[in-house]
Structure formats: C-alpha cells, structure tokens
Structure 1
C-alpha cells in the first residue's frame, strides 16, 4: 500500500482501514508469524478477554482509599494488585525461554539472602552510630564476612544507646538483640531489607531524578554484595536463582557477573582469603551441573537447558585497568569455553565513562582473543539506558553497534534512531528490554510510556528481562511479561511467545542447544496454550464476562 486513497463508501473505508492497520503492524513478530493455529487463536482471544475484564473491574477499584487507575501503572505501587489478578496467575505458568539480562548479585529475594546469612558465624554487621527511631531510616548497615580472629561475641546491640560506633556484631546476635521498640528481630529484617531494595516512596517521590534513584540503586549493591560474594552463601544463592527461575518458566539463564579486583571481593569460607575468579566460575558451574543432574533424575531435564555468564566490570575503571579485565576474561574463556558468553561494561551510563573512553582496548579485544587461541567472546553491551538524545549515554548506541555488540542491554533511547533500529534488524542484534527496571529507575512513568511498542512495531527483536529483581521485587519474568501485556491493546499472548522464542534464538547457546531449547519450549508452549484457554474461560464464566 504505497499511497492512501480516501475511500468514498463505507465498505471501501472499512477495507482501507483494515489494510492500513495491517500494513502498519506488518513488521511485528506476531504478525509475521502468519496464520494462527486454532489453539493459538483461542488462547490469545481468551487472554485478551481476561485482560479486558480485569481492566474494567480490578483496576477500577480503590484499595485503602488509593485509586489504581490503569493496568501497567507504576510497578511498585501496583504490585500488590498485580499478584491478585487472574492474568498474572496464568502468565506464571508460561514458558518464558531465556533470561538474558540479569545481574547475578541482584537475582534472589532478599528474604532468602538474609535467612542464609544467619547460618554463618562469619557474617557480621555494624552501623555508623547506635540505631534509634530518629535515624533508622537513614543509617545503612555494613555487612562483612570476617576471619575468625576478628569475629566478636556481640557484647553490644546495634540499638543500645552505648553501642560503640562501627563495632562489628554477629548478624544473628544483632537480629536477636534488636530493640523491640524498633520492631525486634522483624524490625532488624526490615532495616536490612530497606537497605537492599527500592520502595515506592524512594522510586516515585524522594529520589525524583535519574541521578538520585541511581544513587539509591547503587547503594543496595554496596550493602548486599558482602553477603552474596561470601562463598558458602553465593553457592546457595546461585542455586536459588536457578531454581526460582525454573519455577517461573525460565529454561536458560545468562547472568552478568561483576568482577572488580579492589572493591567488594569474592571471599572464601574462612572470611579472609579472596576467591580467584577461576574459583567463582568453578562454583557457578558446579551448581549448574548439580541442578541439571537433579532435574534429569526427576525426568524434568527439558525445564532447564543450562546457564552461561557475561563477564562484566564497571565503567569507572581506567583504560589500563580495562586491559587487565579483558585479559582476565580471555584467560577464563580458555579454561571455561562453554561458560563465558560475552563481555560488558556496566554502571550508570549517564555519569560514568562512555564506550568511546575505552575504544583503544576494546578495538584490540578481538586480536587479543586470536592471539590467545580462544573462541570468540562477543561484546554484549549496555547502551542507551538513558533519557538523553545525543548525550554520551545515548551515543553509546552508535559505538556498541560499531564495536559489533551481539545484543544491546536496555537500548531505551534506541527508538530515537531509525537507522540504528534498521541496523539491529539487518545484523540480528536483539534488545534486552527491562520494562520494570526502566520504570523504577525513572526512564518512564509507566508501561504505557515505554518505547517497547515502537521496537516491536519496527520489527526489532526483543527479549524481555528483569535486570535486578531482588532490588525491584520483580522476581522471575512473570511481572515483566504482565506489565507488557497489561499495558497494550495490541500485544497479546502470541507476541509474548515470540519474545520468549527470541530469548532463545538470540542467546549465547550453540546451535544444538538452541535447537533443543526451542523444541522443549514449543512442547511446553502447546501445553500452556491449552491451560491459558481453559483457565481463562473458567474465569470469564465466573465473572460473567
């Protein structure tokens, strides 16, 4: 349809309108799919009806006097409503393919992390001053795994008025002795949880700029990392990450692991010896192999294909330091050829170094790999996680593509660049879209204003991702899928399925693994369509929709 002719009859208008809509949506993955099977059509129609019914009922109510005006609203406020919906319940059973963008240090529920920490005598906590009702909301906990000679018996409670500032207390003792007027042990849990997560007031009121919310976001890692990076806890943590992912329908994970030589190191069980990066990957691989063996013994091997990791470091390092990290990544790739999936630089793009700062070592990376005799380690860059238009963070998109990135993390500002979207399609560069993360970190006020529909309508391949679920409370992928589905009248179950398949197609699995993963996904997808249609129709009958 090269030109629009104004129709002169009602029938002609209806035909022209239908053709224009189809032409406008022709590049979407779900439209390219072609004619749907009878089951696909039924499930998709049913889920659309469920979405419509709940939009007119649940989302028009008030809860505690607070109106919830629309599905797809800000996540942290709407989360308690989302979990009550039939749509969320059904999507929880959906096979979601791979999780391609998640930072390992923020992938497991904080409550699990705290419970694990209580088991280890090495874990201690301290505060900069005695805690009381006036300062508990502003004093951050400091956690550490201490060697035996530095461990204490916990003679002081953190809430004692005579607590010596900065004195270490065993975490279990600190919890047990927490002042009842501040909530006792549960108050201690709330204090630590608040330091490791972002709450609605922080996200939508007090930290009302991208810079401010990133400061809070970064602080959560400073608090939690000493726990996550303590070897005994980390092995439990990795296992929980994988098992909780499987429970949410995720069959492959590709987390980013942050490596830094001089800040928050990985620590061995004795609380003293820093772990080598080789030991970190060995532990990761061991946990993955153990989970796969357990599933195989249960006849559930199709539920988890495997895991690889993306080696990352932070954009505040120097050019010389980056050369060391690139060499370290190559050395690990040589020893763990099937585990290292790629290399990335992470951190707030709006304030840290742009990719151009590191061009010299980045341009040499391929040659370094060839000299070392290792298979390719692609770049999988964060880029365009910004509101900027022409800012350094926005310009990272050009450099990521020129440097040959395999995928783009976030790519929030990509829709401002039609040529770059075209190149992503031509070169097979998928975008790791993290809807809830983008909203909480103040790039958009709700899913209705997220640029994802532009990417889909332009035919750009997308994998939905959760980014840092322990900080945001969007564990697994069901919440992100819900937000995308609930906020669009066009996107339906078929589009969600296409994005799930893209998360497999654009993963770092080899051809054989992808083939197996896609076949397993398709089997689970067919069963899910039957479930979605059946459960959806039961619900609609109950509510008279």
Structure 2
C-alpha cells in the first residue's frame, strides 16, 4: 500500500516572496546596487517594457528582419542607443560595417561578375578583366533605371552582401538555405575588403560606427590574408597587422573616448597541423604585440553552428545550458558566454528570442556579454539592437537597469585586456554612464 502525506494546503506568502527575492538576486544584475537616479530610470524602463510586451506585435517574438522597424520606433531602443555599452567582443572583420554597396562599389576600377550560383564577385583592377564588367559602366548604361535589369541587379547587390529581406521565413526555409546564402555573402564581401585602400577605410568606418553607438573597445575576429595592391600584386600578411595597428592608433587619437581595438586571429580547424603552426607564428610576430589579443581555432563554422545537436559533434556554446558539467566548469573558471541574439535568430537557431537558452543562463546569473557576430549581414549596426533583444526578449520583464549595467561592465571584465587596461576601460565607460543616467532619470520623480 502506498503511503500518502497530505499537507494543510495553506500557502505561506512570506516564503514565496522570499524565494522570488532570492531568485531575483541571482539573475544577471541582481546584485548590482542602483543609485537613486538609476532607480528612477529603472522604474521608467520597467513601465516602457510592460507597454511593449502588451503590444500586438512583440519584436523579440518576430524575425529581426521584420521586427527592425518596430524596434527602431521603441523608446527603450532609443535609450539603449544612448547607453554606454562597454565593449564588443565578438565581431567578424568582414561583417564589421554595412556601407560597402553605397560607397565602395562606386569607387574606380571596381569590377563585378554575376555567377551561375545566383551570387556576385568583385575585383579591383586597372585593366579590363575577362568575364568581368566595370560596375561604373553598367550603371552609366542604364537607359531607364527603374525598368532596367541592370537596375535590379544593382539593387540586388545589397542582397548579395547581406541576408536581410522582407520575407526571411520563405527565403530561408531551412538552416541549410540560410547558411548557403550566409557563406556566399562572405565570399562576395571578400573581393571588396581585400583591396588595400578599401581595407583601410573599412576598418576606420567600422570603428566609427561602433563609437557612435557608444562602444568603448573592440575585439575583432579575423584571419590574416594577403591584401591586394593591384591585380596580381599583394601585400604580405604583416602589412595587414600593421594596418590594423596604425588604423586603430589613428582612430583612438581622433576619438579620445575610445579605448582601442585588438584582434583575435581566427583560422579554421580543418587546416593541417603545419598550416595551423604557421598561422600561430604569423599571429605572434614580435612587431605587433599590442594589436593581437588571442588566437581562435574554431571548427568549420557551417558545420558547427547549423542546428543544435545536443550531445553530438556539433555542440557549441549555444547548447551550454544542456551541459551542466561544462556549465559548472566554465563558471568555475570564470569564462563568459558571448550572446549574439540576432545572429542566432538570423541563422535559424531560434525563432522566438524569449526561448533563447541564454534566458536560463541569465536567470542563474551566469557570466555573459552581448555582441553582434556578423552585424552587416543582418543589418544590426553597433550593439543597440542586440542589447534590445537581450533586455526585452531574452531577459524578459525581470531584466532591469542592473542587468544592463552588469552586461556593460562584463564586456570590459571579460575582455582580453590586461588588468590595468581593464581598469582604465571601466573608468572610461563609467564617466559617460553617469552622464547617461543623469540625463535620462530627471523625468521620473
């Protein structure tokens, strides 16, 4: 016979409140002490979030390509744009900035080729290229720009360099479909950014875009490739490191509120051992110690990031919540998770960002930072859009100003900067943070 114990059924409200309070203190930002001005802004943000959650269309539940216009009108987003966000620790160099079509494709000697694979390729040359068409000539020969196939091809250039479109679920019915387009975009971009004059301007423009989104420091993922001087002639790989270093120095000198940028040299794990050794040696060149922060040896991106095969060979950081031992070990070693919500959604790992596994990690106060991964491919410049998705969608109603404050500080704390520069970075972040608070809490008495 089974023995059953019956309680009196009377709930204890005090225990419930205590439990909720303890849970709130464990979440990301739960132990951050807010000043009076910060509390007033937090109250205002909470009200705004309740209003957005009650709206007919809730942006984090919608694909970003469709939600972007809604987010852009959000008063929370406007505040996040002004908010000092610390550092961007996970951005790939080829997708740093989104101005290639509007600027670079109008430069002299830019040739284009339309491939059978529904993509495009670019090259810069001072002589006629076999099978290539001078882009300037194509545009000039448009008799009726609104009805010419060339006009539509020109309009389609942006589509070849980004994934953004009005009907993403139809355009990308599967992960394989979106990844095919994703990889083609990187190949198309490479022909533009691997030209020396573009390479320099691309870095500067990317840093500028981050700076104007109130970001203090950047860690850029990049491979070391030979940059084209002219057709048939390339700089060596040391030139790329020197250009990154000199370009960063120039930008910091002209923008005192920016701490700097460093590189995470990234090469695919599929390379041979000898090729990996050569890449490590190149990254460790003694002439550039301040620009190279680390070395990354990721597995094949398409194979690793497609799907969420928990427990299988394709497991990655996205699956961390399903691996308690790995999560426990990484937390013990103080390893933060880099959350890139728009990239995760755009590559079909999650559709509704309220269901992102980072929601569980945030509720437990697991160390994390927010980044954008491949911003130009998804049309999410800077970090403001990703912060919105984390704050409103993944964090839910319980995420507050303390959450935002801790995420911003985490981005400096978990960077590759040496300890003295971390302290400097936090000080550089705190001054504009205090100014942001004072300018945005007065309306909430």
The two structures have a TM-score, normalised by structure 1, of 0.75
Aligned residue among 106, 117, 122 for 1:118 = 106
Match of 1:509 in 2: 417
Aligned residue among 408, 419, 425 for 1:500 = 408
Distance change in 2, residues 1:427/1:178 (3 Å)? farther
Match of 2:3 in 1: none
CA RMSD of aligned residues (A): 2.5
Match of 2:122 in 1: 143
Structure 2 residue 427 is the aligned partner of structure 1 residue 427: no
Residue 348 of structure 1: CA displacement?
4.5
SS of 2:245's partner is helix
Distance (Å, rounded) in 2 between the aligned partners of 1:71 and 1:168: 42
SS of 1:167's partner is coil
Structure 2 residue 228 is the aligned partner of structure 1 residue 267: yes
The answer to whether the 8 Å contact 2:30/2:402 transfers is: no
Distance (Å, rounded) in 1 between the aligned partners of 2:398 and 2:406: 14
Aligned residue among 485, 490, 493 for 2:398 = 490
Aligned residue pair count: 437
Structure 2 residue 208 is the aligned partner of structure 1 residue 251: no
Quick one: higher RCO (CA 8 Å, sep 6+), 1 or 2? Answer: 2
Residue 202 of structure 1: CA displacement?
6.7
Match of 2:310 in 1: 389
SS of 2:216's partner is strand
Q: Deviations over 1:176-233 (max 9, x none)?
A: 2246355577634421101111134674223222222111111101111110111101
The answer to whether the 8 Å contact 1:251/1:304 transfers is: yes
Q: Deviations over 1:400-421 (max 9, x none)?
A: xxxxxxxxxxx11101011211
Distance change in 2, residues 1:113/1:310 (3 Å)? farther
Distance (Å, rounded) in 2 between the aligned partners of 1:461 and 1:517: 18
Residue 85 of structure 1: CA displacement?
1.4
The answer to whether the 8 Å contact 2:60/2:354 transfers is: no
Match of 1:41 in 2: 39
Residue 271 of structure 1: CA displacement?
3.3
Residue 112 of structure 1: CA displacement?
4.2
Distance (Å, rounded) in 1 between the aligned partners of 2:358 and 2:324: 14
Distance change in 2, residues 1:441/1:182 (3 Å)? farther
* Structure 2: gaps (5+ residues): 1-5
* Structure 1: gaps (5+ residues): 61-67, 130-137, 153-165, 296-300, 353-383, 398-410, 539-545
Match of 1:17 in 2: 16
Q: Deviations over 1:297-339 (max 9, x none)?
A: xxxx2x2001100001124323332222122222x3x221111
The answer to whether the 8 Å contact 1:99/1:254 transfers is: yes
Residue 46 of structure 1: CA displacement?
0.7
Equivalent runs, 1:234-313 vs 2, <5 Å: 234-259=199-224, 265-268=226-229, 270-295=230-255, 301=256, 303-313=257-267
Q: Deviations over 1:137-169 (max 9, x none)?
A: x732221122x3x336xxxxxxxxxxxxx7212
Residue 281 of structure 1: CA displacement?
1.2
Aligned residue among 147, 160, 171 for 2:135 = 171
SS of 1:351's partner is helix
Aligned residue among 189, 192, 196 for 1:224 = 189
Match of 1:91 in 2: 80
Q: Deviations over 1:379-431 (max 9, x none)?
A: xxxxx77511111121xx5xxxxxxxxxxxxx111010112111122111111
Residue 288 of structure 1: CA displacement?
1.0
Match of 2:303 in 1: 351
Equivalent runs, 1:376-525 vs 2, <5 Å: 386-394=307-315, 411-487=317-393, 488-525=396-433
Residue 272 of structure 1: CA displacement?
2.8
Distance change in 2, residues 1:85/1:220 (3 Å)? same
Residue 457 of structure 1: CA displacement?
2.2
